[in-house]
Chain A
Amino acid sequence: MTAPVVEIRDLNVRFFTYYGVVRAVNGVTFSVMGEETLGIVGESGSGKSVTALSMMGLIEPPGYVAGGEILFSGRDLTRISDDEWLRLRGAEITMCFQNPMRALNPVMKLGRQLARVHMTHNRSSVSEATERAVTLLKEVNIADAERLMGRYPHQLSGGMCQRVMTVMAMICEPRVLILDEPTTGLDVTVQKQLLHLLRDLRERTSASQMLITHDLGVVANICDRVVVMYGGRVMETAGVEAIFDNPRHPYTVALLDAIPQVDSQTDLTPIPGTVPEPLHLPSGCPFHPRCTHAMPICSEDMPLLFDVAEGQLAACHLFSKEGTGVATS
């Protein structure tokens, strides 16, 4: 973990729909460090996917970046031109999408899809690109790499497609790889295979990985740091051990208490209420209607991210001067 590769500061993304303004991302601040695996955890409406899309420049009208900046390689990604995006996307920042089977071109052979990415950014020839693709596939222990190149996406299983898509994203040696829910929809035994592949890639290349997921098991096993999002804001940021052993933000605490575990049948404490709809976000802190520690100020002002421990930040009024600073688990 070295210097930050991507710094997101106070990002604001809004969608202007017929039904009103959807504040999908509402002042989000975090960084992706070099050579780390960062986990972005959140439920629906937390803004995690939109954040990732804005990091790739894929926010289209009616959505716009309404504030903040995304710093990468000395540039603010929210202000660069479409041409610059064409050079960046796929080469320096890449993304793997949900639903691997649908994210690949169904009428193009995989080999060609893989090669094309390389050729577009490196001006290589077909044979050079193909060779590189095969090499990478073999490096990550995908059996029968050559045969795979001649296949179509629908001939592969979901897990296989996901792995191919990951390789496709890595083929140009990006600095950041974003993965949107890579394990959702995969069989449990295949999930571990995929995570193993990701860990492998992390060790071979110096790329940072940003993993978006709602599965805390995935986070615990592969991430170095975690960002917890809710209602379009960052609730807590910490190293992975700290998040699980010593969560400070009431949302994180409540979440960890509410998830069922395989090895114990302790009573779950559910979180009352429902996840807010991005169209109708509560005022102030988005979690306050469901928070056991809610104070009057919570419905008025949005809390900033406060330092609560070494390398741990939580956005909660408990940690400001007025609060008690204690969120018991």
Chain B
Amino acid sequence: MRKRKSAEGIERLTAQANRFAEITKRRFGFAYLVFRLNPASLLGLIIVVAIFLSALFGPLALPYSPNKTNAPERFEGPSSTHFFGTDKYGRDIFTRVLSAARVDLLIALGSIGLAFLIGTAIGALAAYFGKAVDAVLMRIMDMIKSFPQFILAMALVAALGPGVRNLIIVITVIMVPSFARMIRSRVLSLREMPYVDAARTSGVPWWKIITAYLIPNSLGTMVVTAALNVSYAMLDAAGLSYLGLGVRPPQAEWGTMISEGTSQLLSGRWWISVFPGVALFLAVLGFNLLADGLRDIIDPRMRR
């Protein structure tokens, strides 16, 4: 027990708690409070929103086309006409970075979305039916998980070939096991809840128990995992593209842009690699911080 608070201390705390109470009464009050009180997660939210918006609207607003070459303007440093400079083909890097945001977001969100759906189905079924079903499904998940993530990705891309669509498939496959595992453990504990028994005695069929009773009550933790995994997916996508195994040129993508620019670093043309790198860093950071904030909202909330 800490030292007892003074009377003024108590008054301050009371006033603060009352203010909070006013906020939490409103619909998304608690979420709002979390972001207010945890600046890091607010930063994450801002970054993510910024990336979304710029990815959606950025390339439309800018005069340059991301892929059109423009030889006379090649290798220009950052300036007022080219915010991030130009690359060796004379393309405006700023436009390319924003355009790449689209691609990377698409890949990351797409693959995580798919992995979420598939992983949830697998995990829920495994947990609900147990025994043989559980054993088989989980061993498959284990097999995927036991490969070093990136090596497996490379192998799969080598087999399927490069391109955005294949990249999404590959990353989905890699990400499914972690979703499956999370949902499985959650459903395993929820399965014993009285409301599941009650559903059975009310005649609810098994598939509805899974979809309406078990999964909706597991979504909380899943959303947090998803947000976190988006950042990993983005790194995977960029990494693969960096190695030339991902997105095909001339498609703008952060990884490929970084790779294209490495050869120029020694010549002093740093802007070609650094800007896409910073963009990638910010994106990953943003989603991580956002995931933090989401976790605070979802987790049992009784703390100060």
Residues of A with Cβ closer than 8 Å to B?
14, 16-21, 54, 57-62, 64-67, 78-79, 81-82, 85
Contact = CB atoms under 8 A, between A and B. Distances in A.
Contacts, number: 65
Contacts of B27: none
Nearest to A12: B10
Contacts of B3: 79, 81
A16 B17 contact: yes
Interface in B6-26: 9-10, 13-14, 16-18, 20-21, 24
Given A61-B304, A62-B304, A64-B10, A18 B1 contact: no
Nearest to B2: A61
B1 A17 contact: no
A18 B20 contact: yes
Given A16-B304, A65-B4, 11 more contacts: A16-B13, A17-B304, A18-B33, A18-B301, A18-B303, A20-B18, A21-B18, A61-B2, A64-B4, A64-B10, A66-B5
B14 A14 contact: yes
B61 interface: no
A60 B17 contact: no
Contact of A14 (B10, B21, B30): B10
Given A14-B10, A66-B10, A20 B17 contact: yes
Contacts of B21: 18-21
A81 B303 CA distance: 24
Nearest to A66: B10
Nearest to A57: B1
B151 interface: no
Nearest to B9: A64
What is the size category of the interface that chain B forms with chain A? 20 to 34
Closest 10 CB pairs of A and B: A20-B21, A62-B304, A57-B1, A16-B17, A21-B17, A16-B13, A66-B10, A18-B20, A64-B5, A59-B1
Among A19, A57, A65, residue most surrounded by chain B Cβ atoms (within 10 Å): A19
B106 to A, nearest CB: 37
A81 B3 CA distance: 7
Nearest to B20: A18
B302 interface: yes
B1 A60 contact: yes
Contacts of A67: 10
A79 B10 CA distance: 15
Contacts of A18: 17, 20-21, 24, 30, 33, 301, 303-304
A26 B20 CA distance: 21
A85 B1 CA distance: 9
Contacts of B14: 14, 16, 21
A67 B9 CA distance: 12
A82 to B, nearest CB: 8
Contact of A19 (B2, B4, B24): B24
A18 B32 CA distance: 11
15 contacts: A14-B10, A14-B13, A14-B14, A20-B17, A20-B21, A21-B13, A58-B1, A61-B2, A62-B303, A62-B304, A64-B9, A65-B1, A79-B4, A82-B1, A85-B1
